[in-house]
Structures are given as structure tokens and as C-alpha cells.
Amino acid sequence: MAGRQGGHHIACTGLSAFPLTPMRDDAVDERAFAAQVARVAASGVDSIGALGSTGVYPYLSRAERARVARVTVEHADGVPVIVGVGSLRTSHVLEHVDDAVEAGAAAVLLPAMSYHPLTDDDVIGLVETVAAHSPAPVIVYDNPGTTHITFTQELYARVARVPGVVSIKIPGVPTEPAAAREHVATIRGAVSEDVTIGVSGDPFATAGLAAGCDAWYSVIAGTVPEVAVRLARPALAGNAAEADAENARLAPLWQLFTEMGGSIRVIAAIAELLGIAEQPCLPLPIRGLDGEQRRRVAAVLETLDHAAEPDRDE
Amino acid sequence: MAGRQGGHHIACTGLSAFPLTPMRDDAVDERAFAAQVARVAASGVDSIGALGSTGVYPYLSRAERARVARVTVEHADGVPVIVGVGSLRTSHVLEHVDDAVEAGAAAVLLPAMSYHPLTDDDVIGLVETVAAHSPAPVIVYDNPGTTHITFTQELYARVARVPGVVSIKIPGVPTEPAAAREHVATIRGAVSEDVTIGVSGDPFATAGLAAGCDAWYSVIAGTVPEVAVRLARPALAGNAAEADAENARLAPLWQLFTEMGGSIRVIAAIAELLGIAEQPCLPLPIRGLDGEQRRRVAAVLETLDHAAEPDRDE
């Protein structure tokens, strides 16, 4: 089943942009989302990932998620679309797969969501069931900070052997170059050649790509894509000096991610400050940044050379 | 809003039994569940908690959860029913509250579920919104192993001040008596007098009740209620010697909980072995115990003096 595809070919390499799903009055702000997808698609990214963690997939109903998948494909202008299909219950994941494929997804992104802790056998059972069901290729998503599953090298190797799995989205790598190379080489050694490895955790992207990752599954590319493109192009071309220089320029942004408990609230504040989303744009109970934290994000945003323009007309 | 009640008075003290919600062919096995609720209600517990963590609430759809709440009240024979209303999104929690109250819940149980980590202010905002909305009193559920929220003493104090909150369900206390007393006394000191403190994590129940907890929110009481009643009665009456003796008899069961990653798989295996539920009864991707682990549960079950009888007629 490996190599089966949705509406558009996807290689699971290069720069993949994961936009926020902005909320407005406890509903998806489809107009703001569609405009942002179009903006991202025009920026030169290699794929667009709807309903990733920043896309707040686990907070949305099935109907909302199906609609977000459709809106993404409609506004992606031919750029391949990845759709997140995670859920706590396997049968619900299969429903999300059906909706994603119906929408025209080129691949589905499968996190191992957990409430009660899952065993490795549980995770393998989930991946096997989803990959056997899905006509679209499967990207397995390792995000221990949200799903609370710890992928070992052995588990990477097992999921990579499941027919239909084409990529693994790994969390941050060590930022020290030699340690990053060893980390990625270990995963590469465990995972079959036709499965790509994509780094996530934007502060680790430069180190991950330099260390041999095939893709950068990027949060900032979903909101300020031109900033991500400027980092990704030299990094993917092996131009380490230029990539390192771009990465160094973004250090204040990475620092905000660390201080504010991850990227989600920082990205939401940036989207709100740029007028890409209404304030507040996160689903409750998650409150956005305000006061001093918001002012600090605004100050860092001033230093980024982004192309986004306010899109509000009220 | 404190003191508002559902269909039956509830004091949030004593022994509260949290049954499994058994699945069968990816649907709730209503017949098995109803029979088990009736069995628990007849055992002498003080309340029944539907849709707790063992009740697999986050894996179920809104319709399934509403139905489970109704079935519980219908078969509880007047025993007050607590219904779990947790969800990642505040608006979904409010829908579950509406369904629980409509079903006749005497109280609602509110976990602070998280995917993206929540701040203390997020948690307080959630509790305030739910308590203001709910005509039934609210029990706040602290379960860091599944929700990944760490309640500090300060957060306990803040949630206990929210009007409508009547109890806090805390995770395990230290098993050493003096340490347990200090732990519970610290929480007691932070929490207003009219809010009860209930211990969960069955291996810690004896220590928690001896240390001054008002309630035991019990998993085993939902599946082998007579075993829990035999431990709870002396413990709640302050008969430490008898409670300790009962607790010591259950040490092999507590050991299984530790070894098998928590109580859920052990309890599911017990329910299956007793014929209370069909095998497999957990929602996928969670696989039940098999092979040697299942044999070990069966061996421990042999040592428990339980009253359950097989209830299958196929």
C-alpha cells in the first residue's frame, strides 16, 4: 500500500507548513483560515499540513475537521495537503481518514494520541489498522509533549515497517551538530530507506536538516511562511552557513517558544497581531497571551521580515 | 451555586464506585453496563460515578456519553450518580454537563483534560465556566497521569473557592501514615471546609481515608464492589487495624496495577474474567491483557472474596 496517493503527489520531503486553525466565537473561522492557506500556498512551501497540533485537531468535532480538510485542499492551489487524523479511539481515526481522503488529502498525519497510556503494541495496532484502511499514505507523528507516547528506536523501526507508512515526524533533535547527526543517523539506521524522516519543533529544524532529515514539518511556515522559506531553502540545499545565520536571527522567537510553554500560544499571538486571525483565536480553555507576554511577542515580531498583511475588513 | 443538586442528594463523602464502560464491537455494551450498575447499586456504595477514567469517557461520542449517563441513573436504584463531563474543549464540556443534568446526575466530575498544556489560569477559567453553567454541583478531578495537569496546593485552593465546587478528587497520597496525614492536612488547610476531599488510586485509599479524606473515589468498587465495601467501611469508621488488614489482603491486586501501567487493563481483565463484560471490552487502540498477564490477574482474582457472578446468557 506504500505509494498510494490522494489528489496530489506528495514526497514527504522539503518544507511542510502547518497553519493554525483559527477559532472565532467557538467556531472555526473559515474565512480567515482559507485566506491563510492561500497565503501559505503562494509562499513556495512543498506541502501544507492541516489539523496538526497547531491546527488544534483534537479540540474539533468530526464535522469541523472534515470542513477544515476541504477548505485546505480548495485553497492550496495544487500544493499537496496533509491532514491530521488523530483521535483517542481507533474507529474515530478511521472516520477522520475517510473525511480527509474525501477532501483530497495527499497524505494523512497520524499521532498516537493517548489518555490511558498506550503500549508499543497498542501503537503498532493503531498504525497497522489505519494504514490498511487509508488509501492515502500515512505519516506517523511522534509528539511526546502532547500525546505522551515515547517512541523508542525500536518503535520507530516497527512503525516504519508497516506498509503505507511513508514518513515519520520526529520531535526536536539535539541542537549540537554532532549529537544531532548521531541522533538522526540512529533513526535512519532503524527505518527503511523509503520512509522519510521529518523534524518538527522549529527551533530544531536547522540542526535536524543539517543532520540529514528529509523534511521540516514546520509550525512557523503555517503563519509566517516567508520566514520559514528563508531558513528552509539554504538548510535543504546543504548551505549550512546561510542556514545557521537565518536560524540565529530567529533565536528570540525560539526563546519565546521555550518561555511560553511551547509554540501554540506564541503562534496564535502572532496570527492575531498580524490580523491573520481574530483575538482570541484559540479554543477555550486555552487562553491566549496577554499583557507583557503579548508585548514581548509583538517586539520579536517586529524583528522578523515577514510578508503577511492584515486581512481584516471590519 | 454551591449546594444545587440534581435528581438525588449527594454529599461527596464515603465510597464512590466508578464502573468500567464495557465496549463490544466498538459500541457501548449497554446491557452489560446496566447489569453492572445495578449490581454496584445493591452493594451498599454511597454513590456511583459513570464516565470516569475507567469509564473511558474521552473515547466516547457525545451521544454515547449521554446514553451511558441515562442508563446509569435508570439502574442506580436511587443511589446518587456522578457523571464525568471532561473534554478538551470547554464548549464540549458544557454539552456534556447539559446531558448529565438531563439524565439526572447528582453531581458532575470535571477533569482538566489537556492536549496542549494548560496554565493554572486556563484551569480556573474552565472550572469557573463549568460551575457557573452547571445546575449540578461540581467535583474537580485531579488526575495527572491522564490529564497531564499538575495541581499545586495553590491551584487546589483556587478551584475550591469557585462557587459550585463541592469536592476535589485527588490522586494517590503517600502510603506512609504520617506523610499521608501531612499531605491531606496541607490540602485541607488550603481548601474551604465545605469542599470534601476524596482520594483516588485504590492502593492509596486506606492511607488517604486514615489521613482524613472524606471520600474514596474507587475503581475497584465499580467492578468488585463488595471487595471495596469491606475495605471502606472500617476505613471510614476509623477502624485502622481492620482497614489495614483488608488493605494488606489486596496488596497483590495493587501490585498488578503498578506492573501493568495502571488499573484500567487489570480492571478490564477482571470484568472479562467474571463475565461482567465481553472480551475485549476496552476501546481500541487500547488492547486488553492476554497470555501470562491475564493468567496473573486470574490468579489474584481467585484470592479476592467477591460476589460477582457471570451474567452472560449466550
Is-catalytic flag, B217? no
Assigned C-alpha cell, A39: 497565503
Give the integer Cα–Cα distance in Å for B49 and A45. 50
pLDDT per residue as tens digits for the range B260-300 = 989 999 999 999 999 999 999 999 999 999 999 999 999 99
The C-alpha of A149 sits at a distance from chain B's nearest C-alpha, in angstroms, of 12
Q: Which chain A residue shows the shortest CA-CA distance from B57? A: A115
pLDDT per residue as tens digits for the range A17-40 = 999 999 999 999 999 999 999 999
> Which of chain A's residues have a Cβ under 8 Å away from the Cβ of B90?
283-285
Q: Residue A231 is inside which H or E element, if any? A: helix A225-236
Determine the pLDDT at residue B172.
87
Give the torsion sign (CA, A113, A118, A120, A121). Answer: negative
For residues A90 and B249, the answer to whether their CB atoms sit within 8 Å is: no
Is-catalytic flag, A217? no
Secondary structure (3-state) at B270: helix
Q: Please determine, for residue A106, whether its predicted confidence score (pLDDT) is greater than 60.
A: yes
Interface predicted TM-score (ipTM) of this complex, two decimals: 0.94
- Chain A to chain B, count of Cβ pairs less than 8 Å apart? 89
Q: Residue B166 is inside which H or E element, if any? A: strand B165-170
**Facing A122 at nearest CB: one of B26, B117, B287:** B287
Q: B57, B141, B156, B217: which is the annotated catalytic residue? A: B141
**Facing A118 at nearest CB: one of B121, B123, B286:** B286
Determine the pLDDT at residue B305.
75
Determine the pLDDT at residue A8.
53
Determine the pLDDT at residue A261.
87
Overall average pLDDT of the A278-303 stretch? 96
Give the torsion sign (CA, A32, A38, A43, A47). Answer: positive
The answer to whether the Cβ–Cβ distance between B146 and A285 falls below 8 Å is no
pLDDT per residue as tens digits for the range A210-236 = 999 999 999 999 999 999 999 999 999
Domains parsed from chain B with CATH numbers: 14-238 (3.20.20.70)
Q: B57, B156, B169, B217: which is the annotated catalytic residue? A: B169
Could you tell me the pLDDT band of residue A9, with boundaries at 50, 70 and 90?
low
For residues B305 and B227, the answer to whether their CB atoms sit within 8 Å is: yes
The answer to whether the Cβ–Cβ distance between B58 and A115 falls below 8 Å is yes
pLDDT values of chain B reduced to their tens digit, one per residue, 314 residues = 333 344 456 789 999 999 999 999 999 999 999 999 999 999 999 999 999 999 999 999 999 999 999 999 999 999 999 999 999 999 999 999 999 999 999 999 999 999 999 999 999 999 999 999 999 999 999 999 898 888 999 999 999 999 999 999 999 889 899 999 999 999 999 998 899 999 999 999 999 999 999 999 999 999 999 999 999 999 999 999 999 999 999 999 999 999 998 999 999 999 999 999 999 999 999 999 999 999 999 999 999 877 655 444 43
> Which of chain B's residues have a Cβ under 8 Å away from the Cβ of A123?
285
Determine the pLDDT at residue B11.
80
